[in-house]
Structure 1
């Protein structure tokens, strides 16, 4: 309800703006008269007109105003009373009025949805009125902050993994050799989230970071057994590396890859048995855990296939190259 006071009219009747506002406040909003105390509780006592005198615009227009020279006059004589549309609540932020427009995202990722909405608003509102601006808030802000954090964390994670493997094998070549399993793990993770219909989010990115560690862990187990087979091969030849043939090398690589299959499969199965039940959970937090677990489950499958089938072949090619070109095989000590 908008009550616009006509200053020329109130001047003619000898009234002020405060006189009119006081009547409107006491009639509609209620004027605080006193405070009543009941034990430890305090209640304000307000006075205002009854419902019958303020339930429609005509009743409000007939509210009486007392003047010195003209007696009682209706409110409509000095003010325009009308209905107008307005916000249900007035909010402010940074000392500026703020209006919020809410929308939800369905069957799409949040980032592309907001980017498309930005383009549509920019095309329809190329020039904002003076003092107006649009700010995108909510989960989109969290997404932007998460992406910036992940851009810093991802390289750090890869560097830490590489350094950990270097200190484990004392060889840059062995460390880089184990990093090859990460792209194969990414294939399974991407395939899994596409099947499940999950969009890329910060939670999915966290799942991929955890997948990197799982893939490298399984690869380390394979390389340790292959290096152990090489130690046995060197010991068989009386610690003479020059007498090792390509056929013996292939035999011991197969031995290291096939004869120790059980611990490698156990490493993968333990991970899957712990993660797969989360995919069908419906409890509190399951909506957050599923995007994290999905890339881990899919990536463990593909990385395990790569480690069990491809890693021994790459290891064999590497050792054959060392044997043929350098005339020796570079293996880790038995202590490793």
Structure 2
């Protein structure tokens, strides 16, 4: 259907985008200024340039519809030559087009105002409006003598932000990460010349993601330091702490590999999933080391075998419980899955990679460490 633009989205997602930038779209580019024609021209040029950026989808001007408008531009010099005041002519136009209460009638005890205005066919006809008398009847000055009247398309809505007009270009990102797409889009937009008095403002989901990533850049090392500190307090020695910590990069590698295989991009949700994954891997490591220590207290020679055997069931049950709870979210494509799915995939894939390797290697490394500390050959 001509003039109709189709965008497939979800109500919750649209509400979030509207809260962030006031416009439905992951990324919004606002052209601010006062001249609507210049702003629209600049927005069209920006849209043309953005269409060549890989990953950009649903690219469009935001609600750029038009409606028929009747435009009447008064000629102040012509009004002055005929001795007419602008206010008087505007009052005549307002009454003719919009109506005014001329008198009142009574219906029993109820009073009703009687409004007068020109017929609909006359109000929509510029030629008929030009014959409208705007002075005293004896002078016979018509509207066409003191004004220019035209009928043409006009904007259906004029958007404002911070008391400034703007025209918005919005788009979503598909098949590519949001950050790199926005960077390339900003580079492409920077090559478009803007008119005088125009200003570009970027907004949208990527702003929140950028802020969240900066916070994660601080919180992730802090969480890792807290984990290592708790491990050291638990064992009272540095070597067991480092042995368990050696499996954390492996778990993160598994999480990233799982995201890549699933076609998901590393996001705030998946980063939070990696933090949760580290806690799960550390828990399994502590259970294994504790079982080895208890077995070594009875028979140091068989501790590397008996310890993992005793810890196998709790480690596997804990891991299986996490997998059973997160696999449905990792496989889901329902509403809200764009947030839940990366989180679940990061944890599930990280556990599937780290847990088997930890069950095999950690007893050997920890037993070797115990032998060195105990002075055994």
Q: Where does structure 1 lack aligned partners over 5 or more consecutive residues? A: 35-43, 235-247, 330-336
* Number of residue pairs the alignment of both structures matches: 301
Relative distance call for 1:122 and 1:83 in structure 2 (3 A) is farther
Q: Distance in 2 between matches of 1:58 and 1:70?
A: 20
1:208-227 matches, cutoff 5 A: 208-227=274-293
Per-residue deviation, 1:137: 0.7
In structure 2, which of residues 177, 180, 194 is the aligned counterpart of residue 109 of structure 1?
177
Offset, 1:45: 8.9
Distance 2:144 2:173 in 1: 49
Gaps of 5+ in 2: 1-69, 104-112
Does residue 141 (structure 1) correspond to residue 192 (structure 2)? The answer is no
| CA distance in structure 1 between the aligned counterparts of 2:222 and 2:102, rounded to whole angstroms | 67
The superposition leaves residues 87-118 of structure 1 with CA deviations (integer Å, 9 ceiling, x where unpaired) of: 43222222322222111212222111111110
Post-superposition offset of 1:139: 0.8
Question: Alpha carbons of 1:57 and 1:154: their partners in 2 closer, same or farther (altered >3 Å)?
Answer: farther
Q: 1:93 to 1:188 in 2, by over 3 A?
A: same
How far apart are the structure 1 equivalents of 2:125 and 2:170?
33
Match of 2:140 in 1: 71
- Whichever structure has more strand as a proportion of its residues is 2
* Residue equivalent to 1:183: 249
- CA separation of 1:24/1:181 partners in 2, compared to 1, >3 Å: closer, same or farther? farther
Provide closer, same or farther for how the CA distance between residues 222 and 156 of structure 1 changes in structure 2, counting only shifts above 3 A.
same
> Which position in structure 1 is the counterpart of 2:224?
158
CA contact (8 A) 1:14 1:68 kept: no
Distance of 1:71 and 1:54 partners within structure 2: 20
Q: Which has the higher contact order (CA 8 A, sep 6+)?
A: 2
- How many Å separate the matches in 1 of 2:251 and 2:365? 17
Match of 1:120 among 188, 191, 198: 188
Runs of 4+ off more than 6 Å: none
Query: Is 2:336 aligned against 1:285?
Result: yes
The CA deviation string for residues 308-333 of structure 1, in whole angstroms up to 9 with x for no partner, is: 1221222233234435xxx369xxxx
| TM-score, length of structure 2 as denominator length | 0.71
- C-alpha change, 1:103 and 1:228, in structure 2 (3 Å) is same
- Provide closer, same or farther for how the CA distance between residues 271 and 71 of structure 1 changes in structure 2, counting only shifts above 3 A: same
CA distance in 2, matches of 1:62, 1:297: 78
SS in 2 for 1:100: strand
Q: For residues 86 and 139 of structure 1, do their structure 2 counterparts lie closer, same or farther at Cα, with a shift above 3 Å needed?
A: farther
Counterpart mapping for 1:230-269 below 5 A: 230-233=296-299, 248=301, 251-269=302-320
Q: Distance in 1 between matches of 2:102 and 2:298?
A: 98
Superposed displacement of residue 210, structure 1: 1.3
Structure 1 pair 317/24, CA: closer, same or farther in 2 (3 Å)?
farther
How big is the alpha-carbon RMSD for the aligned residues of Structure 1 and Structure 2?
Answer: 2.9
Quick check: 2:330–2:342 contact (8 Å CA) kept in 1? Answer: no
The question of whether the paired residues in 2 share the 8 Å contact of 1:13 and 1:70 is answered with no
Distance 2:364 2:268 in 1: 35
Bigger radius of gyration: 1
> Which residue does 1:301 correspond to in 2?
352
CA deviation profile, 1:145-187 (whole Å, cap 9, x unmatched)? 2112212211221122122222222223322222222111112
Checking the alignment, whether the CA contact within 8 Å between 1:219 and 1:307 is kept in structure 2 is yes
